[in-house]
Amino acid sequence: MSKVKSKFVCGECGYESPKWMGKCPGCQSWNSMTEEIETPTRSPGLTSSMRTTKQKPMPIIDVECAPEDRVRTANAELNRVLGGGIVPGSLILVGGDPGIGKSTLLLQTSHSLAHSGHKVLYISGEESVKQTKLRADRLGANSPLLYVLCETNLEYIEEAIEEVQPDLVVIDSIQTVYHPAVTSAPGTVGQVRECTGHFMRIAKMKGVATILVGHVTKEGAIAGPRLLEHMVDCVLYFEGERHHTYRVLRAVKNRFGSSNEIGIFEMREEGLVEVSNPSELFLSERPMGVAGSSVVAAMEGTRPILVEIQALVSTTNFPSPRRMATGVDHNRLSLIVAVLEKRVGMFLQTQDVYLNVAGGVKLDEPAVDLAVAIAIASSLKENATNSHDVVFGEIGLTGEVRGVSRVDARVKEAQKLGFKRIILPAKSLKGLTPPPGIELIGVNTITDALKAALG
């Protein structure tokens, strides 16, 4: 008998080592090395779909390529995030916390495609067929073209795909599927990598769009090596709190569209319902005439959204004041506080600063800087901002307000929701025609912005 050999693989980046190490040399993460058994030979199975034809190199100008029609679902928010619909032959990875609504969204999507005449195969490795049927009855997802299978063996899954010949395959989840030729347990790095590679070959060779559901770690990243995200064509993250009704579907990678789009959904008894006007939703509970509140016009991909920024400044008895931010980068908050102290003269060294983006949205663009600064100053001075004001602009370290992109889209969104004044960088006013009923106030420094907003 041959000697059994083992290796240690990093669960974050896929780095392999013959011995265990506490710190991975590849990604510098701690305690991420797991043991796997090496398999010197492969089983004779799984060769039908892996067999490829030998092709010769050819000039790119001689390649004939006809644009493929995207398969549009009945969910406009999902189509927006995907860039217009599902591309045939694409491999899509959907990740999110447990219970966030991944299976619900994909079952609804499968039903909408099956209802429009496309054949869909939904493969569940975590629920039985009867459990999937109960969920489908609750969601009203019953269609003769929607096929359901409970299987985790990759060989049997391939046989089912050959038999059904679907237009879309949903694997829920990739961590439960195992390759018979790999001796490690399901969910390990080797299994996830091998199974994903096999589904990628099936999708490209047969032109079958495939959606993989991926579990996430406690840090929020998709479990398994980062190689998994490099192999797929599109990576979607489902964000939100399980105890709240609103969910955000965010694209972090998309080879067929923008990687900055988001989709807003509301969890109801009948399933996930798309939210067509998220700005009105996020501002529906905004208090009027309260200090520490400002409204920012932020861009998420090609969509402008208006979100409320809330700040609370309170005196602390500790030598080191706290700086806490939810929805905004913590380092960005510290930078804005430093600029307010140095350039404006605000005394915040003995004040705790708490910042929150209402609605659970995460804003990562620098255009929210000016709204954050005005909210902090408003809370410190106990001076309420105008409830009809919208603010956006980037703040530099010298206190200047820098221009931002897509100003016209932000202004139109503010006008649609009935706002009267917009405080924005003076450089962004060039070539901009103000719509009727909107007053545009251009500012060059953060001091000018505070005077305009707080008087």
Q: Check residue 60 and report its DSSP letter.
A: G
pLDDT band at 1, cuts 50/70/90?
Answer: very low
Task: Find the mean pLDDT for residues 263-277.
Answer: 87
Q: Cβ distance 183 to 222 under 8 Å?
A: no
pLDDT by residue (tens digit) across 317-367? 888 999 999 999 999 999 999 999 999 999 999 999 999 998 878 898 999
State the Cα–Cα distance between residues 311 and 314, nearest whole angstrom.
10
pLDDT above 60 for 276: yes
Q: Which helix (H) or strand (E) holds 267?
A: strand 262-268
Please classify residue 452 by burial: count the beta carbons closer than 10 Å to its beta carbon, then call 0-12 exposed, 13-18 middle and 19+ buried: middle
As a whole number of Å, the end-to-end CA separation of the chain is 84
pLDDT above 90 (res 73)? yes
Provide the pLDDT for residue 3.
Answer: 62
- β-strands 262-268, 246-254 pairing: antiparallel
The CB density around residue 280, as the number of other CB atoms within 10 Å, is 14
**12 vs 39, which has greater pLDDT?**
12
Nearest CA among 232, 200, 208, 203 for reference residue 71: 208
DSSP state of 133: H
Annotated ligand binding at 271? The verdict is: no
Flag whether 22 is marked binding.
no
> Which range, 38-42, 68-72, 149-153, has the best average confidence (pLDDT)?
149-153
> Cis peptide leading into 173, omega within 30 of 0?
yes
Quote the pTM value: 0.77
Around Cβ 312, how many Cβ atoms within 10 Å? 17
pLDDT tens column, 44-56: 444 444 445 567 8
Segment 117-169, tens digit of pLDDT: 999 999 999 899 999 999 999 999 889 999 999 999 999 999 999 999 999 99
Q: What is the pLDDT of residue 230?
A: 85
Here the tokens at position 346 are: 């605000």
Helices 102-115 + 129-139 axis angle, to 10: 70
Q: Is 342 flagged in the annotation as binding? A: no
The answer to whether residue 43 scores a pLDDT higher than 50 is: no
62 marked as part of a ligand binding site: no
Mean pLDDT check: name the lowest of 12-26, 94-108, 212-226: 212-226
Q: Is 97 annotated as a binding residue?
A: yes
Residue 129, token pair as written in the block: 């067929």
Query: Does the annotation place 96 within a ligand binding site?
Result: yes
C-beta of residue 424 within 8 angstroms of C-beta of residue 442: yes
Is 172 annotated in some ligand binding site?
no
The proportion of the chain whose per-residue pLDDT surpasses 90, expressed as a percent, equals: 58
- Beta strands 209-214 and 401-402: pairing type? unpaired
Rounded CA-CA distance 60/430 in Å is 42
Phi, psi of 445 (to 5 degrees): -130, 165
Q: 102: annotated binding-site residue? A: yes
